Amino acid sequence: MTAIEATLIEKLQQLTPQRLAEVKDFVEFLAAREARAAAGARLGESLAKLDALGLPPISDEEIEAEIRAARQDRAARRA
């Protein structure tokens, strides 16, 4: 255990249950923020890789066709 972990545990042991709940909420908030940042970084890397492929943009018609096909596939799997 690091010195900071030991200090934090000491301080946590002195808090009321209500304050511990607040600390827990804050820690969960920080963890969620880190997860969102990591997801954003992965998305940025993926978009850069996609852009590097140099593919031509797809048209609105192609997008609509893909959506229709996906919906038909989903409906067929439900039946």
Report domain extents, the chain: 16-78
* Dist CA 59 CA 47 (whole Å): 18
For 55, half-sphere exposure in the C-beta direction (CA atoms, 13 angstrom radius) is 9
CA-to-CA dists, residue 18 to 4, 5, 55, 62, angstroms: 23, 21, 55, 55
pLDDT (tens place) for every residue of the chain, 79 residues total: 899 999 999 999 999 999 999 999 999 999 999 999 999 999 999 999 999 999 999 999 999 999 999 999 999 999 8
Report whether 31 contacts 24 (CB < 8 A): no
Alpha carbons 12 and 60: distance in angstroms, whole number: 56
What pLDDT is stored for residue 45 in this prediction? Answer: 97
The DSSP 8-state label assigned to residue 15 in this structure reads: S
Q: What is the pLDDT of residue 79?
A: 85
